[in-house]
Structure 1
Amino acid sequence: MARAFLIVLDSVGCGGAPDAHSFFNGDLPDTGANTLGHIIAQHGLRVPNLDALGLGAAVRLSTGIETPGLDAEPQGLWGAAREVSRGKDTPSGHWELAGLPVPWEWTYFPDASPAFPPEVTAALCRAAGTDGILCNGHSNGIKVIEDFGEEHLKTGWPICYTSADSVLQIAAHEAAFGRERLLDMCREVAPLLHDMRVGRVIARPFVGACKADFKRTQNRRDFAITPPEPVLTNWVQDAGGKVHSVGKIGDIFSMSGIDTSVKGRDADLMAALDGLAASAGQGDFVFANLVEFDTDYGHRRDVAGYAAALERFDLWLGQFLPRLGMGDLLVLTADHGNDPSWPGTDHTREQVPVLVCGAGKGEIGICGFTDVAASIAAHLGAKANGTGRSFL
């Protein structure tokens, strides 16, 4: 029995979702969105290690476009995965990659002011111990602290906002409001939001003395709904293996089926994966969400920054691959798209690449997100109770 590593490259989509017309950025449907394809076309991309595993081939398979500079003959299994959950968000993508399509419709808050119903606003005020909240509308995490950060410091009121995702985010100053107070607030209101089928409550601490130097810290914390059925992490534990999460995986799954969890900056997470390649035992599963491509570049519509981040990841990948042992399986994929060239700031509905090292080479074709879970379970000898089929 060997080991398995699943690395989710957050938001690295490859276009081609057949239902993209049903998902929107503002009034514009996501039809034609293609995170990787548009980065390649508009900026170029030098990722030889990813390309050798089949990245360029996956983009061509998904959308039929040319991929200049990404034309290597794949040395691994490669394909593109299609999601069935009715969402283009973090929990939907990760749950389905772990074998569980979301079994309900998420609740989304309207793009209006106020966005939150009175009972939610009242609960937020009680949890914060304040007479009110700031924003109470749609925004992104950078703009919202620019718009409300100084008022937050004056009033002490938390900044509460949402987006096109099923989420309620709370931004507060780490020192003036208090990081633990922020986490306690999120922890207190999360059950109410989960009962409403809102996927996550996210703590977004920031620092700085004024608008000019406000910046978010790495101490983000997600309070997500626990998956209502066993998923890949549970299957592996039931088979006797340990599950190690890297990045925000532990939060996304509410630590269900997870033995160890490491969080931190990108460099910390990459170092953790290097360490797990040396220390993880036979039958273990390492589940990682590596690099916040969407938070740092996709939502900001920064094509050049996104390309540079992918190239930095590729350099690390070239050093990581030799750390894998005989019989180890590595799967690289994504949870949704976030085309940095697309109008608006939201995620984009796309298919995602699936690149596999350690299982020979060849074309997988178009598969399902749940097939990723079924394949890893098959490799580890775990009993899958999901709907996917192994492509190994």
Structure 2
Amino acid sequence: MPHPEPTRLTVPAAARLVGRIRVPGDKSISHRALMLSALAVGESRVKGLLEGEDVLATAAALRAMGARIERDAAGVWTINGVGVGGLLQPAAALDMGNSGTSTRLLMGLIASHPITATFTGDASLSARPMERVITPLSRMGADITASPGGRLPLMLRGLCPAVPIEYELPVASAQVKSAVLLAGLNTPGVTRVIEPVPTRDHSERMLAGFGAEVLVEETSRGRVISITGEAELRPQSITVPGDPSSAAFWMVAASIVPGSDVVIENVGLNPTRAGLVTALRMMGADITELDPRTVGGEPVADLRVRHAALQGITVPHDLAPAMIDEYPVLFVAAAFAAGRTVARGADELRVKESDRIAAMRAALEANGVSVTEHDDGLSIDGTGGDAIPGGGTVTTRLDHRIAMSMTVAALHARAAITLDDASPVQTSYPTFFDQLAQLSGEAA
């Protein structure tokens, strides 16, 4: 899955943003819906699946291991699974493109199957450490040979039966937790993950929904998630809610561009993912939840966001796990707030698609924003609602969230901001620029 040719893009300011949009399906849920459907016996149906490059990489890998996955003209995906323990030996290397989620979760799936798989990825993914997943999966019996630094390409030889373990997460990571739980699906006995700091819980919810025996307990050590192995998963019909990480860009954009009034439909508001809504409201954002409801076990609402005067805050560290992917666009909101915003507690940003702390500091400084970099976040002095100077060029570093976050910053800048490469947006939000044109009144 080669990375597309760089697409240089200059983004001008917007007069205002008005209208209703529906963001793509939640990326985390889309990955998990495909994986668990591929391990169920029978046909599952998924509506609203995110059709970005990352999720398509997951679908391609599952097809290579025996699942039949098809999409109809109406955008409904059908998955005929192979059953837990039924994954087949792939004939070629599994190309993960830019998707760390695909890589880490599929490593978990394969770890307890008697097959061998080689994982490859693009330059950005190949620079990201996999040791945090390699460690627990190796304890379960998988034989993993990685490139120097615990990086891709790597080869994983699964063990069946694998060994159930109890594993305490050294860092808050939903991907590591999910990889161990997915390995536990085909492992005799009970596999346990202890997370001292809660992370997004889509895996636990969806595993239980497919029929796995999952127990979640609150203890003095933190949340303990137990899964009983050798499960038989039942096929499901799933409607994927809108991705809160994608909605985040419009929440911030509508908040900072004067005169804006935007409704974002069908946004997933799982409490383990809603940290940005909490942080923006602390800053004074005008966000109203319309028609709150539950869809497929996940809380959902339409969000109406109107322009508001934002105030600088010190972001509580305990919000970090619930908004880790939204920090780049939170940094943008801070650039337009009154006073200083201190957003720390996010060490994990150093090992995302890029070093998002360094990347956002460089991008904001190039466009006239006063920024102080810390080892775990940024402090940002805002404009008090005025436009930032702009006029700089952003190095997006093959990172979709850097590209979209700085597009949002450009919407209230005195001079247009240029992205050196806008193509990474395709990994998670293929319609992003079309929807921007729609909200700004520039759609054809």
TM-score for the superposition, normalised by structure 2:
0.27
Could you say which structure has the greater relative contact order, defined with CA pairs below 8 angstroms and 6 or more residues apart?
1
User: Which structure has greater strand proportion?
Assistant: 2
TM-score for the superposition, normalised by structure 1:
0.30
